[in-house]
Structure 1
Amino acid sequence: MMPSRRAFLGFGGGALAALLVPCRSVAAQVMVIEMRGTTRGERIWFSPQGLAVAAGTTIRFINRDPGNSHTATAYHPSLYGRMRRIPAASMPWDSDFLLPGDMFEIKLSVPGVYDYYCIPHEMGGMVGRIVVGQPDDPGWEGPAADTGDVMPEALAALPSVEDVLASGRVERKPAA
């Protein structure tokens, strides 16, 4: 017995529709770094201050400090003449000033260590470190050795690469 034309078209149409349905892909990972501050504004920080991620991860900076505006700015010569503290093959970023509730995103694809800071609050130790990939990844670039233009308070606040890789995220809320 031959299938009817309707049955054949129904089956064929269903098969065609199945072929046209887009394949599900793995969504790109988004990690959040919050800009925080105490109610009176005497202490400010990034949370987490250290973060380990895979290459291709999107980082979303969100200002959760109700009393301050903040930036997330990569250390790079093209941004305010700072020494480069991100991998050479990566693109520098500057969020500009984010008001409370504002956000900014970047995608990090080059393996290595990325140091960044808040322009008005660097002296207060509002700095962070993102480690993309692992030291044995091809092209991985470790932390910058030259610290000549980084304030001692900022250097002291940066978590070590080893700590970031060991825990995945380092929270370091400034002491009261």
Structure 2
Amino acid sequence: MKPSRRRFLQLGGGLAATLATARTLHSAPLEVIEMRGTPRGERIWFSPVGLAVAPGTVLRFVNRDPVNSHTATAYHPENFDRKRRIPLKASPWDSGFLLPEESFEVVLDVPGVYDYHCIPHEMAGMVGRIVVGQPDTPGFEDASSASDDLPPGALEVFPAVPDILARGRIEGDAG
């Protein structure tokens, strides 16, 4: 059975739409945040620990720690009733536990400051901060000041927003 011209155009249109969508997804900026740990597991961290990105950037969290599973979890009441430390209009995320070499992606579209943590390693200071857009961007919100429910180990690790904006990327390390 020979396909009709109409059927060919329908299939071609679908293919064109699929390719256009794929091109749009691939044209969005991508930043990788690695979950790291020392070989014996005595120290764990996100790298970078501070990152400035444009709205719409795809963030890929990758577990590069060969001995631990980790999460990337936004501070938000929907995630284990934590205080909100992301913009009000932003959607919270939780990667679930990622085994070594597994990854999770999220797109942050709402301008502001986003703080996140690894659920089992927050007490050890496995936290990070992402700044989306600039403080003069309409709707920019910094909700990172709530600190009464954070362990001291986490509070010491968060880089200051002005430092993130000035440097763009602040690496976490084993030090």
CA deviation string 1:101-129 (max 9, x = no partner): 10000000000000000000001100000
SS in 1 for 2:84: coil
1:146 Cα shift? Answer: 1.7
Structure 1: 5+ residue stretches without partners: 1-19
Residues 75-114 of structure 1 mapped to structure 2, 5 A cutoff = 75-114=75-114
SS in 1 for 2:90: coil
CA deviation string 1:8-53 (max 9, x = no partner): xxxxxxxxxxxx8987767011110000000000000000000000
Q: 2:48 & 2:144 partners in 1: Cα distance?
A: 20
Residues 38-53 of structure 1 mapped to structure 2, 5 A cutoff = 38-53=38-53
Report the equivalent of 1:17. Answer: none
Structure 2: 5+ residue stretches without partners: 1-15
Letter in 1 for 2:63: N
The normalised TM-score by structure 1 is: 0.84
1:173 Cα shift? Answer: 1.2
Report the equivalent of 2:136. Answer: 136
Report the equivalent of 2:64. Answer: 64
Q: 1:48 & 1:146 partners in 2: Cα distance?
A: 22
Report the equivalent of 1:166. Answer: 166
SS in 1 for 2:106: strand
Q: 2:157 & 2:143 partners in 1: Cα distance?
A: 14
* Segment of structure 1 superposing worse, 24-33 or 146-155: 24-33
1:152 Cα shift? Answer: 1.2
